[in-house]
Structure formats: C-alpha cells, structure tokens
A and B are shown apart, each in its own frame.
Chain A
C-alpha cells in the first residue's frame, strides 16, 4: 500500500484518482493547488505525487521548484499531468519522473502507480 498525493484544481480529477487508487489498496491525499499541496506535505510525506501543471494560486511548475529546493521533499517521485503537450511543460519544469497527458485512461494511472511504487521499493 502506498500513499499518493494528487494536486489538481479541476473538480473530478482528484475524485477519480481517489476512486481508482483506494480500490487498489492505496491511500489518496488531495490538494487543489500547489500551495495547498505544500501544506499537505508539511503534515505528511506521500510515496508519490501526481501534479497538475495549470492551477490557480501556485501552479505545478512553481510547486516543483519548491519540492526541488527541499531535501525532504525532493526524493518523492512526481508525475506531471496536463492537458497541454509534454514539450510545453518540459520547457518550464524539471525534476519530474514522467508525464501523463490528460485525458488519461484509468489503466494508465493504476499501471503507473504500480510501476513507480515498485521502483521506489526496489531502490529502498
């Protein structure tokens, strides 16, 4: 079982992650923007973060920079998500492990979680 943080402003996305991953035995934390995401991280460290790019208050790029600047947080693998192409996101963001283009298939999410959590466990 892993704890996954989903940071996304769009109503329905975090709810979808929650429904999918809880069924797989994981725990899901949610936040509606980068600032809110950092607040959640101040209380609890997840095994994996799904981070949306376009958000109000603090967008995905800004949150990623904050994660990179924090020794405690930089080790958590981050999956960037967006409805815009990865190339546009990659120009503005570094340090994420993979990218997921919206809209995505539910199996993409569960497969990705399984793969990244497995990698993390193998690396200790």
Chain B
C-alpha cells in the first residue's frame, strides 16, 4: 500500500529493466512505451502482463485499438518462455476497443477502459495502438483530455496503465509525453554493418533512473535489457581496495620482471601480434587457479575445443583444472551480442563462482562491438574498475596490427585506465630468423624490469630467458645489421 507520501513500486520482471528504472514502475502510474516498428514493443508489453500475473497482481488486460489480431499475437507469443496459456482468459485477456473508439470517440473509449478495469479487477492494463487514438482525436486538446482522463482512471483504480505507440524514426515530442508518468523509448541503431537495439528511459516522474541508452535483446525469454555498464557502475557498490597480495603470472621470470608477480585485483594487458604467444601466457596465468581460487577464461576468438587442444600442447596443468571445474571456459563469439550483454555475462560468471583469476582472451572483440571509441573507453574503464573492486586479478590479451616492426599501435586508446600492467610481446625479424621478445611497458606503483627478454613457446608454454643478453644482442644486430654480432647458434632459454 501507498503510505501517502510515497508510491508503491511495480517491478516489471523484465531482466535489467527494473535496474534501469531503479525499482520498476509506480503502481497506478501511466506509462508510454514507444518505438519504431519491429523493436519489440508488443513483446515487452505482453512480458509485463505475464510477469505481473505470475508474480504480483491478479489480472492483466490487453486492449488493442488498431494493431495485430489477437489470435496472431497469441501465435507469436506461443514460442516465448514467459507465455502461459493457462492464464487465459481469467487472468489475462484481450479486448479490442477500436469500434468503441470509432463509434463513440475518445470519451467512449475512456468509459470502456474504466468499466473493464473495475469489472475485471485489472491491476495492469496495456493499451496497444495509441497512435489510432491520437488520430481519432478531433484536436490536440481532445487528446490531452483523453490522456488526462486515463491518468485519473489509473490513479483512482490503482491500476498501472501502459500505453504502446509506434513512432517514426524521429519521435517528436508530442502532447502525450507531458501527460504520462514515464516514457520508455525502444529503437534500433546501426553502426557499420551491425545494428543494436536500445532502450532509453526518456522520463520517469518521481524517481531517478539510469539515463542514456541501454542495449536490449529480443530472446526466447522476451526482452532482456543490459543496463549500460558505465551507467550502472557509475557509483561502485564495492569500494576499491588497495591490495598488496601478489599472484604469480604463471611464468617465473615474468614474475621477476613485474617486480614479484601480479598484484591481486589488478588488471594486466598483454599486447602483441597474432601468434606471438599471448593466449599461451594467459593460459599459464590460469594455472595458478584452484578450487579456493577459481578462474575464468572468457574468450572471443578461440573456441573451447581449440583452447583445450592448445592446453594439451602448451599448458598441460590447465587441462586438469578445466576438467575439475576450478577453471571455467566461456566462449563469446565476437559477432554475437552487444557490448553490455557481453559485460553482463562476464560479470555474472565472475560473481557466480567467486572468480579470483580472470583471463579475457581477445579484448579487441569488445573494440569491434562498441559503436564508438568514446563508448568503448568508458565501457572498458567501468568494467575493469568493477573487476578490481571485486578483487579479481585480470589478464587480458589485445592483438596489435603490426606483425613485425618497431612501431606498435594499440587498437584501443587510454590503455592506462584499462590496466595497471602492460606487457608487450613482439616479433623481431633478423635476417632469416624470427625472434620473440617480451618487455614490460608499465607496472603501476611498482618497480619493474625495463629490459627486453627473449622468449620461446614450447611444450611448457611461454618460457622467458632470464638473462636479457640474447635480446640485447638481437636488438643490437637489428640496429647495426651486424650478423657477426649474433651468436652462431643460440640455445633456447633455460626452462624452469
């Protein structure tokens, strides 16, 4: 019940939407869902109804003005998990009010709606096809009066009323916008060859909400909203802690180069060209996992089968950890899902198992999923901040486009906000031979080894030469092109 000075909330039950609305709709409120055709307005409206009767209120009524046939709507709904045919007709029913509106005008429509809410004890009402009502109005004043009457009906009956309206691409500010308690705008956005659906709360009276656009998907379970991570995590719920505990990187000499391993709760970015050994190094990092310190591999480009095969070849200890479940593998195809859906999935997997070591293989996939550089930077910054706050030690790989050569250009800007530690792997081509070199570019608040080291990828994984001598010789020869300065035949770095 309302306490008089506060209004009761009505949770939508739509994943992510109540987070965006910071608690859901207000009972007895008048809301507008608007969007271009095909954005899922009708699906969302039905989802609200079935969630409502399953969890909250006794009855939902769906009033159509001039929209799809009810039978066709039910056929489409049949494939959605929230739809429960047994709720029809007692808890959920349809009526068409078009004829009444056509014959008796908007005042007749308002009377019909009021009577039906009272007679059927409806606690959630959908009116689909508001545009038809707008067209039926003699003028703006008549339509405003109808909207005002609807608001009065919603308040007097404590029935939440949701209006559904189809709009053009450029939804203009229309009279109904000022008359409703809240507006949800659904839209489809193109960037490059991709499109992404976005929900934006344009207005909610009496409540804060997450502003800006939020990605959503139309799934078998209906609408799933992925609140924009940087908006969601604007005020982190968990304060960031300054850790001193160190984790092994999985490579002994790399630990030494980093000044004693990776500080717990920090983020490390391994940069390098394709095939240089970034993923192998990440897999080695996960070898430090146990049941007490669970790990997660969140990969974009290599399927679980390929990761497993690679583990058998270059990181055998990981095979047992994957089999025991101490390390979980999640594969996110880079072509599937929005940035926020991906972030949601990652954070959910981290929280589900209390992950302490996270390896994100192929951070560049998020770069491609982002619709703009600004969005990408703020998303990644918020995600990494949250991972730090949840005390997850993260290692990510990022491919650079330059295969060989001194000029390395990272595809993502503002690396310092993403990672405390930057590790660069590179190929160096000298005469007819390809060498691999590793160097530390940055370790925040700690001393580190500034020298390059040569490394090899063998069946024990990435093995770094403890001495910088080979790297020094290679670089010197590269500069002077002095073959005589090269050792006649170098041994691979000592293992162990």
Given contacts A83-B70, A103-B75, A9 and B89 within 8 Å (CB-CB): no
Residue numbers in A under 8 Å from B89 (CB-CB): 53-54, 59, 82, 84, 88, 92
B118 to chain A, nearest CB (A): 12
Starting from the known contacts A82-B89, A88-B89, A102-B71, 20 additional A-B residue pairs (CB-CB under 8 Å) come to A9-B96, A9-B97, A9-B99, A10-B70, A10-B96, A11-B66, A11-B96, A32-B100, A54-B70, A54-B88, A54-B89, A56-B100, A57-B112, A57-B116, A83-B73, A83-B94, A85-B85, A88-B86, A102-B69, A103-B72
Complexed CA–CA distance, A85 and B75 (Å): 12
Given contacts A84-B85, A84-B88, A103 and B71 within 8 Å (CB-CB): yes
How many of B's residues come within 8 Å of A, CB to CB? 25
Interface residues of A in 50-92 (CB under 8 A from B): 53-57, 59, 82-85, 88, 92
Complexed CA–CA distance, A37 and B295 (Å): 68
Residue numbers in B under 8 Å from A53 (CB-CB): 89
B115 contacts the other chain (Cβ, under 8 Å)? yes
Residue numbers in B under 8 Å from A92 (CB-CB): 89
B455 contacts the other chain (Cβ, under 8 Å)? no
How many of A's residues come within 8 Å of B, CB to CB? 21
A54 touches B74 (CB 8 A): no
B274 contacts the other chain (Cβ, under 8 Å)? no
Chain B interface secondary structure, helix, strand, loop or mixed? helix
Interface residues of B in 423-448 (CB under 8 A from A): none
A12 contacts the other chain (Cβ, under 8 Å)? yes
Chain A residue at minimum C-beta to C-beta distance from B132: A11
Complexed CA–CA distance, A10 and B63 (Å): 10
A10 touches B115 (CB 8 A): no
Most chain A CB atoms below 10 A, which of B64, B73, B88, B98:
B88
Contact with A along B84-116 (1 / 0, CB 8 A): 011011000111111110100000000010011
Residue numbers in A under 8 Å from B112 (CB-CB): 56-57
Complexed CA–CA distance, A59 and B115 (Å): 13
A-B contact pairs, 16 of them (CB 8 A): A9-B95, A9-B97, A11-B96, A12-B69, A53-B89, A54-B95, A56-B95, A56-B112, A59-B89, A82-B89, A83-B73, A88-B88, A88-B89, A101-B71, A102-B71, A103-B72
Most chain B CB atoms below 10 A, which of A9, A53, A102:
A9
Complexed CA–CA distance, A13 and B66 (Å): 12
- The 4 A-B pairs of least Cβ separation, nearest first, read A102-B71, A83-B71, A11-B98, A10-B96
Residue numbers in B under 8 Å from A101 (CB-CB): 71
Residue numbers in B under 8 Å from A88 (CB-CB): 85-86, 88-89
Chain A interface secondary structure, helix, strand, loop or mixed? loop
A87 to chain B, nearest CB (A): 10
Chain B residue at minimum C-beta to C-beta distance from A56: B95
Residue numbers in B under 8 Å from A55 (CB-CB): 95
Contact with B along A29-55 (1 / 0, CB 8 A): 000100000000000000000000111
Contact with A along B114-140 (1 / 0, CB 8 A): 011000000000000000000000000
A11 to chain B, nearest CB (A): 4
Chain A residue at minimum C-beta to C-beta distance from B61: A56
Residue numbers in A under 8 Å from B93 (CB-CB): 54
Chain A residue at minimum C-beta to C-beta distance from B62: A54
Complexed CA–CA distance, A10 and B69 (Å): 8
Residue numbers in A under 8 Å from B115 (CB-CB): 56-57
Chain B residue at minimum C-beta to C-beta distance from A36: B99
Residue numbers in A under 8 Å from B74 (CB-CB): 83-84
A13 to chain B, nearest CB (A): 8
Residue numbers in A under 8 Å from B99 (CB-CB): 9, 11, 32
Most chain A CB atoms below 10 A, which of B99, B100, B115:
B99
A102 touches B70 (CB 8 A): yes
Residue numbers in B under 8 Å from A11 (CB-CB): 66, 96, 98-99, 102
Contact with B along A1-14 (1 / 0, CB 8 A): 00000000111110
A97 to chain B, nearest CB (A): 21
Chain B residue at minimum C-beta to C-beta distance from A54: B93
Complexed CA–CA distance, A92 and B75 (Å): 22
A82 to chain B, nearest CB (A): 8
Complexed CA–CA distance, A13 and B112 (Å): 20
Residue numbers in A under 8 Å from B97 (CB-CB): 9, 56
Chain A residue at minimum C-beta to C-beta distance from B103: A32
B84 to chain A, nearest CB (A): 12
Complexed CA–CA distance, A11 and B93 (Å): 16
Chain B residue at minimum C-beta to C-beta distance from A81: B71
B116 touches A56 (CB 8 A): yes
B222 to chain A, nearest CB (A): 19
Chain A residue at minimum C-beta to C-beta distance from B116: A56
Most chain B CB atoms below 10 A, which of A13, A32, A92:
A32
Complexed CA–CA distance, A102 and B94 (Å): 13
Chain B residue at minimum C-beta to C-beta distance from A60: B89
Residue numbers in A under 8 Å from B85 (CB-CB): 84-85, 88
A103 touches B69 (CB 8 A): yes
Interface residues of B in 280-334 (CB under 8 A from A): none
Residue numbers in B under 8 Å from A56 (CB-CB): 95, 97, 100, 112, 115-116
Chain B residue at minimum C-beta to C-beta distance from A31: B99
Complexed CA–CA distance, A29 and B163 (Å): 32
Complexed CA–CA distance, A56 and B96 (Å): 8
Complexed CA–CA distance, A65 and B425 (Å): 82
Complexed CA–CA distance, A73 and B89 (Å): 26
Complexed CA–CA distance, A57 and B97 (Å): 11
Residue numbers in B under 8 Å from A59 (CB-CB): 89
Complexed CA–CA distance, A11 and B115 (Å): 20
Complexed CA–CA distance, A53 and B70 (Å): 12
Contact with A along B371-412 (1 / 0, CB 8 A): 000000000000000000000000000000000000000000
